[in-house]
Amino acid sequence: MTGQAQEYDFFPAHVVRTRRLGPTMLRVTFGGGALRSFAGGGRDQSFSLFLPQPGQDEPDLPYAEGEGWFAAWRAIPADRRAVMRSYTVRAQRAEPPELDVDFALHGVGADGHAPSGPDGPDGPAPAGPAAAWAAAARPGARVVLLGPAVADNRSVAFRPPAGTGFVLLLADETALPAAGGILDWLPAGTRALVWIEVPDAADIQDLPAPAGVDLTWLVRAPGTPSGLLPALRSAELPDGAPYAWIAGESGTVKELRRHLVRERGVDRRAVAFSGYWRRGASEDRLREEAYARPS
């Protein structure tokens, strides 16, 4: 997968270091010479991350197959083929070439292991393969990224149109890295209302909030519904044309979008939304549903 017109390419990389950001979040820094060509567009730049299965030294991913890589990867037995997950670039540096990627460690305790209680391996919320991998990742661990070879690529969703009067950002912890990337990118003087929900007060981060940005953190108590919709319902929005970016749990994202479009009268074309996960469904299940969906 090479060539100047190629929008995406594969980038072999390795773990440089890890840093715990809070009870729920872990930052993994990836490095490697191939990342010099990773042309991230900032904001909510997403990519596919391929991880090895337990016991493997590197992901089993036939990316040398070129355009036939996906069929070849799908043909590998599920317990051997590389685990594929979608993530957001939190930060990128040119020299040395590095990417920071923040993982939400759902199902992983503060000690880096899945809890043994009712929410552990035998309960309703076991750690997924990516969270388990990240919690155990050590420098040198090998991965492969499928990401942008050009900065203006389709995997950047945050694109406020000309004439936007103010920006709305609503995110849960899974979308926190993307929200942070957007805040880093916002032009000076942009008017923005931001709500970010996390499961623990210790997960609150020091994000940029220059003049014009009103950032509110919400802490979701265990077993309680998201507080994002009540916060948005009670908010007084500024005058002007809004542009909204919403990401997180699919059901909550749909409710937020419905409120903006149906109750606030926001143009649906001015609402970018993405379900990063769905309550009760693994990413593998969601991908299988997508594969089975008629094209």
What is the edge-to-edge ordering of all strands in the sheet holding 25-31?
83-88, 46-51, 142-148, 8-20, 25-31, 98-104, 91-93
Question: Is 0.75 topped by the overall pTM?
Answer: yes
Interval 98-138: pLDDT, tens: 999 999 998 775 555 544 333 332 334 567 899 999 999 99
Beta strands of 105-221 (E only): which ranges?
142-148, 166-171, 192-198, 213-219
Tell me the average pLDDT of the chain: 89
Interval 224-273: pLDDT, tens: 999 999 999 999 999 999 999 999 999 999 999 999 999 999 999 999 99
The amino acid occupying position 37 is S
Reply yes or no on whether the pLDDT at 218 is more than 80: yes
Q: Which residues of 31-41 are buried (b: 16+ CB within 10 A; e: fewer)?
A: bbeebeebbbb
Reply yes or no on whether the pLDDT at 34 is more than 70: yes
Taking residue 290's Cβ as centre, other Cβ atoms within 10 Å add up to 8
pLDDT at position 208: 85
Reply yes or no on whether the pLDDT at 281 is more than 70: no
Tell me the mean pLDDT in the region 182-192: 95
Interval 41-84: pLDDT, tens: 999 999 999 999 999 999 999 999 988 999 999 999 999 999 99
